[in-house]
Chain A
């Protein structure tokens, strides 16, 4: 269903059918990046450090 939706969406968006595979490849790559365990780990690390920073600022009343 998703593949068919992408196919139809590409055609309805006005792209020539020759672009179909390239757009699909880019979509697959984006999904790969989103699903990557390494990227997910780094995102979690960044989010935790942001949260820890916010909590530290709140605990010190905004004084650093």
Chain B
């Protein structure tokens, strides 16, 4: 059995077990309506977690994504309010901007040889500050195209709605899986996460890969901002505070090693859905406080970090035995 995939198997097992327990108490939780809502409500988180997975796989971290989502929403709302540009043009402008922002952070991390934590923390301040500068109020988005996007869905059997943003999240995860597991760039990301010296010996262009990883994360954060603005129908500079930490939690629960070099994109999707399932259970129950979501996620995180530590210890002792 592949020990590296053990956290992924554990995530899937926990998700299925949790779903089974929920189903025993509330049989309706298996309806297509709930499944559709699970995808819609967590679409923005799932998309941003795809970018975060690649960043963590490379051994880095991106703290700016939550602020970039908020900036994206405010940017779209303000530009649509003050100009006559079509939303698709605004989307293209925004994605170019957030991708360049991510690439600039990647460039600084590589060129300054500084920890990603502090560079992306500055990026977080910058994006949130830029959102405040655009508007400190909640700006509603009133555009026909937005209404069309919000109303777009495919009716599943059982009257569940598979919304456009839910489909976009699934497609993004699929694209992330292809990039991480089937491309040369993905292999470079894994090599970089395994160790810089090893990556250099393998011929990985470290600077280029780092820049591309953060550019990808910026692109995903921008896309997530678009999805969030469709979901809420507005832009607000104080929105999605702490989303970066939720995304990191989803990635870790999904079985990706925080030190980088090991993990699966599919695990992140299961991690996001597990977190969504906890929220859904609380809504179904009706008596529990929403803070229980945080408590359960905290416990899950602890379990997965301990599991990762255990696996690391196991592989190190195996290596030591092999050397002896």
Chain A positions near chain B (C-beta within 8 angstroms): 18-26, 28-29, 32-33, 35-39
Contact B114–A29 (Cβ < 8 Å):
no
5 further interface pairs, Cβ-Cβ under 8 Å (given A25-B126, A26-B126): A18-B133, A21-B128, A32-B114, A38-B113, A39-B112
Contact A28–B113 (Cβ < 8 Å):
no
Contact flags (1/0) for B101-130 with A, using CB distance below 8 Å?
000000010011110001101110110111
Q: How far is the CA of A23 from the CA of B129 in the complex (A)?
A: 8
The residues in B between 229 and 283 inclusive whose CB is less than 8 angstroms from any CB of A are none
B288 within 8 A of A: no
Interface of A is mostly: helix
* Known pairs A18-B132, A18-B136; A25 contacts B114 (CB<8 A): no
Closest to A32 in B: B114
Which residues from chain B contact A35 at a C-beta distance below 8 Å? 114
* Known pairs A18-B136, A19-B133; A25 contacts B125 (CB<8 A): yes
| Of A18, A23, A25, A26, most B-chain CB atoms within 10 Å | A25
| Of B108, B118, B119, B125, most A-chain CB atoms within 10 Å | B125
Return the 4 tightest CB-CB contacts between A and B, nearest first: A21-B129, A22-B129, A25-B125, A25-B126
Tally of contact residues, B, Cβ under 8 A: 18
Chain B nearest CB from A3 CB (Å) reads 11
Closest to A23 in B: B129
Contact B114–A28 (Cβ < 8 Å):
no
Contact B136–A21 (Cβ < 8 Å):
no
Which residues from chain A contact B119 at a C-beta distance below 8 Å? 32
Chain A nearest CB from B278 CB (Å) reads 32
A-B contact pairs, 17 of them (CB 8 A): A18-B132, A21-B132, A22-B126, A22-B129, A22-B130, A22-B132, A25-B122, A28-B122, A32-B114, A32-B118, A32-B119, A32-B122, A36-B112, A36-B113, A36-B114, A37-B113, A38-B112
Which residues from chain B contact A33 at a C-beta distance below 8 Å? 112
Partner pick for B129 among A18, A29, A36, A38, CB 8 A cutoff: A18
Closest to B135 in A: A18
Q: How far is the CA of A57 from the CA of B125 in the complex (A)?
A: 48
Which residues from chain B contact A22 at a C-beta distance below 8 Å? 125-126, 129-130, 132-133
Q: How far is the CA of A20 from the CA of B136 in the complex (A)?
A: 13
| Of B111, B112, B123, most A-chain CB atoms within 10 Å | B112
Which residues from chain B contact A29 at a C-beta distance below 8 Å? 108, 122
Q: How far is the CA of A20 from the CA of B129 in the complex (A)?
A: 7
Chain A nearest CB from B238 CB (Å) reads 12
* Known pairs A32-B108, A35-B114, A38-B111; A21 contacts B126 (CB<8 A): yes
Closest to B124 in A: A25
Q: How far is the CA of A25 from the CA of B111 in the complex (A)?
A: 18
